[in-house]
């Protein structure tokens, strides 16, 4: 990229590891300059930054804990200060801890709502303010986009992970409201993966068996989720809608969360 001031720039939250890293690298491969957000995984974040720098010429890491509203609010301006511009936010970071109707409490609900709903909304708000500032500075066509990582389980609910599911349901509803409120400056699109990566709750063998449980015989790959994010950021006509990237898992009835089946 010959002129860094013209390189489109994206903030990917929770991009140190797992799906966030795949999304960051796919965006860097597509030419985006990537701001890599992390909370605790500093070493992994530096590895994501190195990979993104190799792919698109520049990248940097930004630490923030999303329980801290001021830290979330400062994130957009820190990225803008470092790169000179910000064009998109991918809200990928997420808390995923188990609770259900029996164990539900304010503490779990609050933690999930802060990191999975509040922070993405504050970041979308910050992106709109940045777009306004760019327009006032003489860039009338400045436009931004937000992608919110959701979950196919919103369309196929079960009683597990109650606070997590509530926080993602709230984010899905916020997607509609923000698409209206932030237009025409910022588009808002959801991407809802199915079972994509395993966790400590599942053996590799069990994960592979569950991954096959879908109309297409496979759930989402990280590459397919990342490519949906790239598409949502590129497609200038999409807002207020969600891409379900899950092999059709949302069309099937599952009584429990995959990790507890
Ligand atoms: N994995 C799947 O199969 C799957 C399925 C459906 C939907 N999704 C969605 O896809 C996204 C990525 O999934 P994933 O499994 O890769 O996510 P993950 O590993 O569970 O979490 C991603 C990152 O979120 C960050 N994070 C958590 N709480 C935070 C907080 N309070 N403040 C700041 N950062 C915080 C952590 O960063 P640090 O490590 O730096 O602390 C973590 O590495 C999520 O939004 C998830 O809901 C995933």
156-181 per-position pLDDT tens digit = 999 999 999 999 999 999 999 999 99
Q: Is 95 in the pocket of ligand 1 (CB under 6 A)?
A: yes
Confidence of residue 91 (pLDDT cuts 50, 70, 90): very high
Kindly give the number of the ligand 1 atom that is closest to the alpha carbon of 45.
40
Q: Is 191 in the pocket of ligand 1 (CB under 6 A)?
A: no
pLDDT for position 2: 60
Distance from the alpha carbon of residue 7 to the mean position of ligand 1, in angstroms: 27
Distance from the alpha carbon of residue 92 to the mean position of ligand 1, in angstroms: 6
Average pLDDT, rounded, for the chain: 97
Kindly give the number of the ligand 1 atom that is closest to the alpha carbon of 66.
32
Pocket probe for ligand 1: among 12, 13, 14, the residue whose CB has the most ligand atoms within 8 Å is 14
Distance from the alpha carbon of residue 54 to the mean position of ligand 1, in angstroms: 24
129-138 per-position pLDDT tens digit = 999 999 999 9
Residue with the smallest CA separation from ligand 1 atom 14 is 19
| Count of H-run helices and E-run strands, the chain | 8, 7
Q: How far is the C-alpha of 98 from the C-alpha of 177, rounded, in Å?
A: 28
Beta carbons of 159 and 200 less than 8 angstroms apart:
no
Best CA proximity match to 119, nearest among 252, 254, 14, 240: 14
Q: Is the pLDDT of residue 145 over 60?
A: yes
Beta carbons of 31 and 21 less than 8 angstroms apart:
no
Q: What is the mean pLDDT of residues 16-35?
A: 98
Confidence of residue 25 (pLDDT cuts 50, 70, 90): very high
Indicate the pTM of the whole model. Answer: 0.98
192-222 per-position pLDDT tens digit = 999 999 988 889 999 999 999 999 999 999 9
Q: How far is the C-alpha of 208 from the C-alpha of 197, rounded, in Å?
A: 10
Q: Is 32 in the pocket of ligand 1 (CB under 6 A)?
A: no
pLDDT for position 1: 52
Q: What's the CATH class of domain 4-258?
A: alpha beta
Best CA proximity match to 90, nearest among 15, 165, 16: 15
Distance from the alpha carbon of residue 22 to the mean position of ligand 1, in angstroms: 12
Pocket probe for ligand 1: among 18, 93, 199, the residue whose CB has the most ligand atoms within 8 Å is 93
């Amino acid at each position: 990229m010959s002129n860094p001031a013209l390189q489109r720039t994206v903030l990917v939250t929770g991009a140190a590891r797992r799906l966030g890293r795949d999304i960051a690298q796919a965006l860097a491969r597509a030419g985006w300059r990537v701001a890599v957000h992390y909370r605790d995984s500093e070493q992994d974040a530096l590895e994501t930054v190195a990979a993104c720098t190799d792919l698109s010429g520049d990248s940097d890491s930004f630490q923030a804990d999303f329980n801290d509203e001021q830290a979330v609010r400062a994130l957009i301006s820190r990225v803008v200060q470092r790169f000179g511009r910000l064009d998109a936010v991918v809200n990928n970071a997420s808390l995923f801890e188990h609770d259900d109707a029996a164990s539900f409490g304010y503490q779990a609900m609050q933690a999930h709502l802060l990191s999975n709903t509040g922070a993405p909304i504050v970041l979308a708000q910050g992106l709109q303010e940045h777009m306004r500032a760019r327009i006032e500075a003489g860039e009338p066509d400045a436009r931004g986009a937000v992608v919110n990582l959701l979950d196919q389980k919103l369309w196929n609910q079960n009683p597990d992970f109650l606070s997590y599911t509530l926080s993602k349901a709230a984010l899905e509803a916020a997607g509609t409201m923000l698409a209206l409120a932030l237009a025409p400056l910022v588009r808002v699109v959801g991407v809802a993966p199915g079972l994509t990566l395993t966790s400590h709750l599942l053996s590799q063998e069990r994960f592979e068996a569950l991954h096959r449980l879908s109309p297409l015989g496979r759930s989402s790959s990280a590459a397919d989720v990342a490519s949906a994010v790239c598409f949502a950021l590129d497609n200038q006509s999409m807002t207020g809608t969600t891409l379900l990237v899950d092999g059709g898992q949302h069309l099937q009835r599952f009584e429990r969360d995959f990790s507890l089946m």
